[in-house]
């Protein structure tokens, strides 16, 4: 009798161990993305960056992606601040991006404001020097795609930080990407976020050691695999690794944008007024402040992989 009971108990224990820990997995996925948010957006509350966008239509030959036309190169300076408001987990952010090249687009400016509140849409404004006008980019209700950033395959939605509160998470398992061990985590926008997002589902590949996203498969609201973000190079700043170079592939339009943060400096004290609408049209003020912030570029050293 005792032998039978011991055998039965062992069988029950083995069966319990084989049951997929769904609740634990869901919690783990959320905890992982909280850590990703901490590393990506909270390690350095501000940044000054010089960024290059290279965009082209492409063909696939021999399994390799090649441009089918001369790439459009856009170089711009970017100034950003991330800050949590009192009593909130997620961040407010403000960013100002100013085109340096090509000459035809020089001094085109994009101002972005994002909010910690889960039901408040981000604000975007673009100053077009050729028209001497400011244009507001509106988040289209019920999931319309926001405008492209400087003619690239990065939409305004792609450019804004993803807030933890805007998604539910599910662990899909583990994988390897570019030689790195990763978690595969499914992100589904909440009802509030879904009204302001073009995406109905995102699958993130998270580096298990560094807690940075190395790849994202982005699906539109109809379920099509619409875009794919791939990190091509990372750089170490202190004890933190962050993406330096990445590629956004529009799988439907067959257009790709590669972006490279060629120069960057973190923890720069950026004036609040500089990240306001004044900088869209007040050229003299904007240039004075930019000249001051440029001196900090390249002060942060690190290795790349």
Check: CB of residue 100 under 8 Å from CB of residue 75.
yes
Which range marks the domain in which residue 250 is found?
45-294
Residue 27 lies in a domain: no
Instruction: Write out the chain's pLDDT in tens, 305 residues.
Output: 444 444 444 544 444 444 444 445 555 999 999 999 999 988 889 999 999 999 999 999 888 999 999 999 999 999 999 887 776 767 889 999 999 999 999 999 999 998 888 678 889 999 999 999 999 886 655 545 667 899 999 998 998 889 898 999 999 999 999 999 999 999 999 998 898 899 999 999 999 999 999 999 999 999 999 999 999 999 998 888 999 999 999 999 999 999 999 999 999 999 999 999 999 999 999 999 999 999 998 565 544 55
Residue 7: count of CB within 10 angstroms of its CB: 10
Rounded-to-integer distance, Cα 142 and Cα 108, Å: 29
Rounded-to-integer distance, Cα 305 and Cα 58, Å: 26
Q: Which residues pair with 9 in a beta bridge?
A: none
| Element holding 256 (H helix, E strand) | strand 255-266
Rounded-to-integer distance, Cα 123 and Cα 274, Å: 16
Domain CATH code at residue 280: 2.50.20.10
Residue 12 lies in a domain: no
Q: Name which of 214, 288, 286, 219 is nearest 244 in CA terms.
A: 214
Residue 31 lies in a domain: no
Residue 17 lies in a domain: no
Residue 251 lies in a domain: yes
Q: Name which of 223, 232, 298, 293 is nearest 260 in CA terms.
A: 232
Q: What token pair was written down for 33?
A: 């993305």
Residue 39 lies in a domain: no
Residue 204 lies in a domain: yes
Residue 77 lies in a domain: yes
Q: What token pair was written down for 7?
A: 């055998």
pLDDT of residue 108: 97
List b or e across 36-60, with b for residues whose CB sees 16 or more CB atoms inside 10 angstroms: bbebbbeebbbbbbbbbbbbbebee
Total domains present in the chain: 1
pTM for the predicted model, two decimal places: 0.85
pLDDT of residue 22: 42
């Amino acid at each position: 009798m005792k032998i039978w009971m011991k055998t039965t108990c062992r069988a029950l224990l083995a069966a319990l161990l084989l049951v997929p820990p769904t609740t634990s997995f869901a919690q783990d996925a959320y905890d992982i993305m909280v850590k990703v948010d901490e590393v990506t957006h909270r390690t350095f509350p501000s940044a000054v960056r010089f960024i290059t966008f290279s965009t082209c239509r492409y063909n696939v030959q021999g399994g390799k992606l090649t441009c089918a036309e001369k790439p459009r190169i856009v170089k711009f300076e970017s100034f950003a601040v991330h800050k949590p408001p009192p009593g909130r987990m997620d961040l407010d952010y403000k960013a100002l991006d100013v085109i340096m090249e090509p000459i035809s687009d020089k001094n085109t400016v994009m101002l972005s404001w994002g909010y910690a509140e889960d039901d408040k849409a981000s604000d975007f404004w673009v100053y077009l020097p050729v028209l001497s006008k400011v244009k507001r980019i509106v988040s289209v209700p019920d999931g319309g795609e926001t405008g492209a950033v400087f003619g690239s395959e990065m939409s305004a939605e792609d450019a804004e930080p993803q807030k933890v509160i805007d998604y539910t998470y599910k662990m899909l398992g583990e994988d390897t990407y570019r030689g790195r061990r990763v978690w595969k985590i499914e992100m589904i926008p909440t009802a509030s976020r879904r009204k302001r997002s073009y995406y109905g589902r995102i699958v993130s590949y998270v580096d298990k050691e560094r807690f940075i996203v190395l790849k994202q498969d982005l699906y539109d609201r109809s379920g099509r695999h619409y875009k794919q973000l791939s990190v091509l190079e990372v750089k170490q700043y202190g004890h933190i690794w962050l993406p330096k170079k990445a590629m956004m592939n529009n799988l439907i339009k067959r257009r790709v944008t590669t972006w490279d943060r060629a120069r960057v400096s973190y923890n720069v004290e950026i004036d609040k007024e500089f990240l306001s609408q004044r900088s869209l049209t007040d050229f003299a003020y904007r240039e004075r402040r930019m000249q001051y912030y440029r001196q900090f570029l390249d002060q942060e050293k690190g290795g790349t992989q």
